[in-house]
Amino acid sequence: MESDKALRVAVLGCGSVGSQVVRLLDEQAADLEARVGAPVELVGVAVRRLDAPREVEVPEGLLTTDALALVSRDDVDVVVEVIGGIEPARTLILAALENGASVVTANKALLAEDGPTLFEAAEKHGRDLYYEAAVAGAIPILRPLRESLAGDKVTRVLGIVNGTTNFILDKMDTAGSGFAEALEEAQELGYAEADPTADVEGFDAAAKAAILASLAFHSRVTASDVHREGISEVTAADVQSAKDMGAVVKLLAICELKDDAVAVRVHPAMIPRSHPLASVREAYNAVFVESEAAGQLMFYGPGAGGSPTASAVLGDLVTVARNARAGTRGVGESAYADRAVLPMGETRTRYHVAIDVDDRAGVLAQVALAFAEHDVSIQTVRQEGRDLDAQLVVVSHEATDAQLSATVEHLRGMEIVREVTSVMRVEGEAE
Ligand SMILES: NC(=O)C1=CN([C@@H]2O[C@H](COP(=O)(O)OP(=O)(O)OC[C@H]3O[C@@H](n4cnc5c(N)ncnc54)[C@H](O)[C@@H]3O)[C@@H](O)[C@H]2O)C=CC1
Ligand SMILES: N[C@@H](CC=O)C(=O)O
Ligand code: NA
């Protein structure tokens, strides 16, 4: 790119995020030009259907249904990929890089599945690949990990990284909404993925956890390395059980460095209401980063939605444009540490278990014995009597996940246990 020449941008996909990118490119044109030092010009928008209703008016002549032809044009400097999914997004990004364009993408699914192929292509062709929007929407979290903390040793990343599930859990907790009703609202607000199963079953959060862990621990972590549980099995009883013990249910992504290995997991967990993550409402996200020298850092903001996500895309676009004008590239992949991935069974967690039992003498002792047999120590027990049965709510101390799940299986097989009504991990001490 010559110093006074416009930076020419192609946008792939004009849905929730793409339409807001197109809007901001138009509305902020003067400021973008001043910040980059050259005009930022939209030269094409690839869509699936020319006549589909859109949230933004795309200038005459810019729409095309041939995304491959658009990225293959020799006058495109940057391709913004906001189609999502694996294919054709991967083919289009690789074609763009091969053709000499830099790429800005929000596609966590692709980065978590096949990031190395994209990074290697960017390296090979000497182009930038930026993806701040892929994790926690508008929140600047990848750039801090990649750049600001590059001199520190990150040991843990913990957060709420999926807006849709946080929105649903929040509505279940505060408004008593049903799951389906809350999901529909999240979809209407543009938070959910094209297939909301990706949100609800934790795939989206797992992809983000893989990206966070790769950057934090300088090692390649893919979606398949992440232990994943979604929120489809979180019941109103779990939400109530959490309430009863002064806690709230959140879908957490937890990336930890254990000696030289990494442990990465996504699952619902109960956290105390006094914990900072408990106050993360609606589609907001929050990420805690712990590092040796800096200590604890917290990043908070809108984690989903077209406009917040477009903010992160535009930020990357400005960076890529500045790099291009300076004839340089930003930092590439840093995956020099080839770390093993710790199996979930070896990860240390705590469990909350609610059990319906016969209300008779010795029951509590038998339940305590079941925990002891698996070497799991109990932190608290609460008992509520009913007519002929009782509910015991046990919160364990930390043990391996394998010990804890074996304890639950043991309880399920006991004659005095009528039903295990709620099992959930517990995270975070009250702050
Ligand atoms: N919506 C959000 O809050 C966030 C979304 N993202 C990511 O941003 C990307 C886009 O997400 P959304 O805008 O929400 O999805 P969306 O489903 O609203 O938009 C995607 C658009 O791409 C179009 N498309 C599909 N195949 C195409 C093709 N071959 N050529 C041209 N257009 C095609 C679809 O018709 C649709 O309009 C995804 O990777 C998503 O994971 C990231 C952060 C937040
Ligand atoms: N579907 C995602 C969108 C942002 O990444 C979410 O709900 O967080
Ligand atoms: Na982000």
Is 303 within 8 Å of 284 (Cβ atoms)? yes
Spell out the domains of the chain, with CATH numbers in brackets. 7-135+306-326 (3.40.50.720), 142-302 (3.30.360.10), 345-426 (3.30.70.260)
Q: Is 43 marked as a binding-site residue?
A: no
Asked if 228 contacts 109 with a C-beta cutoff of 8 angstroms, the reply is no
Give the whole-angstrom CA distance, residue 276 versus residue 286: 9
What's the confidence (pLDDT) of residue 176? 87
Q: What H or E segment, with its residue span, contains residue 408?
A: helix 401-412
Place of tokens 């979809």: 187
* DSSP assigned state of 279: G
Catalytic residue among 124, 153, 208, 243: 208
Question: Could you tell me the distance, in angstroms and rounded to a whole number, from the CA of residue 145 to the centre of ligand 2?
Answer: 20
CA of 315 to the centre of ligand 3 (A): 10
Active site residue 258: no
* Residue 17 annotated as part of some ligand binding site: yes
Q: What does the alpha-carbon distance between residue 304 and residue 134 come to, in Å, rounded to a whole number?
A: 10
Residue pLDDT tens, the chain, 431 long: 555 689 999 999 999 999 999 999 999 999 999 999 999 999 999 999 999 999 999 988 999 999 999 999 999 999 999 999 999 999 999 999 999 999 999 999 999 999 999 999 999 999 999 999 999 999 999 999 999 999 999 999 999 999 999 999 999 999 988 889 999 999 999 999 999 999 999 999 999 999 999 999 999 999 999 999 999 999 888 998 899 889 999 999 999 999 999 999 999 999 999 999 999 999 999 999 999 999 999 999 999 999 999 999 999 999 999 999 999 999 999 999 999 999 999 999 999 999 999 888 899 999 999 999 999 999 999 987 666 688 999 999 999 999 999 999 999 999 999 999 999 999 987 44
Ligand nearest to the CA of 287: 3
Instruction: For residue 216, give Cα distances in angstroms to 150, 151, 299, 375.
Output: 9, 11, 14, 33
Longest dimension (CA), the chain: 84
Does the annotation list 14 as a binding residue?
yes
196 lines ligand 2 (CB under 6 A): no
What is the residue with the minimal CA distance to atom 18 of ligand 1? 15
Work out the angle at residue 255's Cα, subtended by the Cα atoms of residues 249 and 258, and round it to the nearest 5 degrees. 125
Task: Output the CA 15–ligand 2 centroid distance in Å.
Answer: 14
ipTM of the complex as predicted: 0.99
pLDDT the model gives residue 386: 65
Q: Can you tell me the distance from the alpha carbon of 237 to that of 205, in angstroms, rounded to the nearest whole number?
A: 24
Rounded-to-integer distance, Cα 130 and Cα 103, Å: 6
